[in-house]
Amino acid sequence: MADGTPKESAEFDLEGFLPYLLSVASNRVSRLFAGRYSHAFGLSIPEWRALAVIGHANARGLRPTASEVAQRSGMDKAKVSRAVSALARRGLIARGVAGEDRRQQPLSLSAEGRAVHRGVVPLARALEAELLAGLGAEDRALLRRVLAGLAQRAGAMGAGPADGPD
């Protein structure tokens, strides 16, 4: 327009807009993954993510809190809280003692949770391999570096680890 404001009809390439592309790819991959493990293990996407973060931390001798699971997974704290509660009800995780604030209770996988984790991990690795099958080793490494760099840059620009929808 003559006054310098963009016209409503100005072309916006949504399909080329990076945040849109990342969101679509993430949602499709998550749904694909959920379709493969939800039937066998009865886990929602947030439950799997929480289980994966807790299992990863436990393998390193750590017992993350729900707040740390939110931070590490990039999920909203409320979604993590619901996932952790569901996992605890199913006996897949145990909450340690740390006062009344459940977000500060250390979390660990139960024996059953470790068994589920061991069952899901090979499916996760197989899906990752299938998704990346069309890329060479250099492209896979580049993709990982670029995604890590974008996440780091977004954090530096003010996006917290669990800001906004996931």
pLDDT in tens, 132-161: 999 999 999 999 999 999 989 998 998 876
Does the global pTM surpass 0.85?
no
Task: Look up the CATH number of the domain holding residue 124.
Answer: 1.10.10.10
Query: Is residue 85 a part of any domain in this protein?
Result: yes
Looking at the structure of the chain, the number of domains it has is 1
Query: Is residue 152 a part of any domain in this protein?
Result: yes
The CA distance from 103 to 93, in Å, is 14
Closest to 124 measured CA to CA, from 59, 63, 53, 61: 53
Task: Tell me whether strands 93-95 and 107-109 are parallel, antiparallel or unpaired.
Answer: antiparallel
- Going by pLDDT thresholds of 50, 70 and 90, the confidence category of residue 166 is very low
**Predicted local confidence at residue 98, as pLDDT:** 72
Owning domain of residue 73: 16-156
**Could you tell me the CA-to-CA distances from 56 to 63, 136, 166 in Å, in that order?**
10, 27, 20
